[in-house]
Structure 1
């Protein structure tokens, strides 16, 4: 007997390292549109796995910004910092099945292979070893991205054995995202193209854990005038919660959509409703990067 199809479900998963900027808004709006275009649900997950990089109050500020822009999640917000037991259970399964192993290698140990781990070469045991996923020689992963087309990666040669738990005890992003996507029933992952290279690692890990693989769509990454990702740009300012419409229109345009479709909207809710009716995924630029328009700072209010 075949199981019923999973309901359509997407998600937006920011890290609480600062306020949402325009590039984050493009990813949030894109994931919202993909999830809702077929009547599905859109969830928000806070990826708070790296305490040294977190900014106090950032997650609350990010959620306020999403609400101000009409991007309301269709369920409770999930915080990865509360999910340690789930990650530990998955790691134990991988260790018990021989798919993961304890690794004492340091960065210095792996310098000769440019940081790629193919076998343990630790010069001495560590009191704080990491845990890695085994990537056997010849492991190659290919998938069809809904925006970027076919993407293939020789995982063994280009990436090597993948860290699942870091030497400092923090859970690695790759393990957490795979476990949480499965737990939340995510059917479609829509995010920036900077994470395209991570997708083969996640698919390989899904296969090792026997978890379903969602569809993927990697949106063009918005860069500043100097060619830097906005989250890393010193000139990047957060979008203004008090004036969401200009930024929403700019995000819609960054997704390659027709500006006229949302030109008459007088509120974020009206704009998103119009956007949903007009959204055409085939119009999203296939290139992996796009420069922020020179007029952006003048046209899109930013919080001072």
Structure 2
């Protein structure tokens, strides 16, 4: 899928800021949000993204996705950094924080505005009601951009990608979602915008993350195409569930990782991914063994993992 406009040219200017360290044949990342401490589901994602990158002789970066500043949970960023150290993951470059990069996101938004690919929207959730498909109510109103949400225009076309675990996944954004928000009316940069820009600037080639983010992918592919960015390879992992049948998440009060049990929890995560057994050792040695044995075909090709993980 190709979208030709001057925003694609803007990618060449941003390319000057791309991280040359991560421009390898394979470049992956772990990108947690500090809306709570890391839990076992986060560990599964970290292990899978790390092993997949290293098994491909690639680089692995860490990005803290903290643009939603009001939702940042106290001490959660520090817990994430302590967890990375405790599990002895070795990032191949400096960890970045999205809240330090807001000017970058605003510059891309400005370019999209100049190219008439976005518009201001005054609709609130109350106004939209239960309709989850945005019908373009504000598309032709030419509202001022200050004090309003900013939506990206989508087209009536099918977007498909081949997920390495979940198979072919398709969506027509106009029919299934409608124009979507890149910046909220309260000024918060939306996840979709920040992740697409940073994946590009950090030279990402592969994304390994939970299946709860599967439905975000077509949006990110569309935005990346509008901006002239290369399309990435995706692998969406089956989710670890609790005993209530809910995915492990901060919202469902998933238990924080006990960093004093790093080796034990790491072994548990490797088993959850259906990988060959590793010896109980230091996390570093366990990861080396897991990388040497890494086999994505053994990961369940499903949306959920069997069993419960508290």
TM-score for both structures, normalised by structure 1: 0.89
- Residue by residue over 1:162-205, the C-alpha shift from the partner in whole angstroms, topping out at 9 and shown as x without a partner, is 10010110000000000000000011000000000000000000
Alpha-carbon offset, residue 265 of structure 1: 3.8
Quickly say closer, same or farther: Cα 1:239–1:189, change in 2 above 3 A. same
Contact between 1:265 and 1:274, CA under 8 Å: does it hold in 2?
no
Does the 8 Å contact 1:244/1:268 carry over to 2? Answer: yes
Query: Which of residues 198, 204, 223 is equivalent to 2:222?
Result: 204
Q: 1:54 to 1:144 in 2, by over 3 A?
A: same
Task: For residue 97 of structure 1, report the CA deviation from its aligned partner.
Answer: 1.3
After superposition, the C-alpha distances for 1:107-127 in whole angstroms (9 at most, x for unaligned) are 233226x1321212599x797
Out of 55, 59, 66, the position equivalent to 1:41 is 59
Residue matched to 2:25: 7
Equivalent residue number for residue 119 of structure 1: 136
Q: Is the CA contact 1:195–1:218 (under 8 Å) kept in the aligned structure 2? A: yes
Q: Cα deviation per residue 1:42-74 (whole Å; 9 max; x = unaligned)?
A: 111001111221112211111111110111211
Contact kept, 8 Å, 2:40 with 2:257, in 1: the verdict is yes
Do 2:37 and 2:250's aligned partners in 1 also have CA atoms closer than 8 Å?
Answer: no
Aligned to 1:109: 127
In structure 1, what is the equivalent of residue 240 of structure 2? 222
Q: Do the aligned partners of 1:107 and 1:115 also contact (CA within 8 Å) in 2?
A: no
Q: CA deviation at 1:7?
A: 3.2
Q: CA RMSD in A?
A: 1.9
Partners in 2 of 1:233 and 1:107 — Cα distance? 20
**1:134 paired residue number:** 153
Q: Deviations over 1:10-55 (max 9, x none)?
A: 0001111121110000000000011111111111100111122111
How do 1:110-189 and structure 2 match up within 5 A?
110-111=128-129, 114-120=131-137, 128-136=147-155, 138-189=156-207
- TM-superposition CA deviations, 1:233-264 (whole Å, max 9, x none): 656211211121111111111112122xx0x2
Aligned to 1:116, the other structure's residue is in SS state: coil
**Could you report, residue by residue, the CA deviation over 1:75-121 in whole angstroms, capped at 9, with x for unpaired residues?**
10110001111101111111111211111122233226x13212125
In structure 2, the gaps of 5 or more residues are 1-22
1:201 aligns to what SS in structure 2? helix
Unaligned runs of 5+ in 1: 298-304
Change (3 A) 1:235 1:16: closer
Match in the other structure for 1:281:
296
Alignment match, 1:302: none
In structure 2, C-alpha distance between the alignment counterparts of 1:233 and 1:162, rounded to whole Å: 23
Query: SS of 2:127's equivalent?
Result: coil
Residue 19 of structure 1 is matched in structure 2 by 37
Paired residues for 1:236-251 under 5 Å: 236-251=254-269
Paired residues, number = 285
Task: Give 1:28's match in structure 2, choosing from 46, 54, 71.
Answer: 46
Give the alignment's TM-score, normalised by structure 2. Answer: 0.87
